[in-house]
Chains A and B, each alone.
Chain A
């Protein structure tokens, strides 16, 4: 069974731009969560989507948004990028939002 895939793996953007990251969950998984990982803040929960609906949301500004498609694939968008948005963005999928999540390799975003 294929694991969680994320594209692109690396991305360089400049301040003020916007970016879209993509995540394909494990086949059959309906829950997709997004996390931001930085050396200073560690792993922080962004949001979770389940059956195309945002079910839970972390404490991030509205510049961070996401969506989920009918095939459970998910995208995350960050608008008006700031230097502090430089991070590893991780996507995780699970069958129904349980504690055992399967993570992708992440997208390394660098904002210059």
Chain B
């Protein structure tokens, strides 16, 4: 199983770009990388998902190098409301279902 490692916490300031890196050295060929955001007293919310190279949507970008042993979630121009825990998931949801959640990164955005 691909175990993930993320920083426990990060601080940044409003308006800055924030990059959170997740390490997953044992990622398997069929594994995808997914990121979720969780606010206190709420369930996680899907942010972005990718397999390789770069994926971008309206809220974030996901960078995955060629060896896929790590991935970086990039949040452009963060605001105070981006203060949350961010989870990196690696795994697959096919007939050999395996989905491992990382411990999460507590991101604190300061004014």
Contacts and interface: CB of A to CB of B under 8 A. Distances in A.
A99 B43 contact: no
Contacts of B97: 48, 55-56
Contact of B101 (A44, A48, A91): A44
Contacts, number: 43
B93 A99 contact: yes
B34 interface: yes
Nearest to A92: B43
A contact face: mostly helix, strand, loop, or mixed: strand
B43 A4 contact: yes
Contact of A105 (B43, B87, B89): B43
* Most-contacted residue by chain B among A43, A45, A90, A106 (CB, 10 A): A43
A98 B104 CA distance: 21
Interface of B: 32, 34, 41-46, 49, 87, 89, 93, 97, 99, 101-104
Given A99-B93, A100-B49, 9 more contacts: A4-B43, A42-B101, A42-B103, A43-B87, A92-B43, A99-B49, A103-B43, A103-B44, A105-B42
Interface of A: 4, 42-45, 48, 55-56, 90-92, 97-106
5 contacts: A44-B101, A90-B44, A99-B34, A99-B46, A104-B43
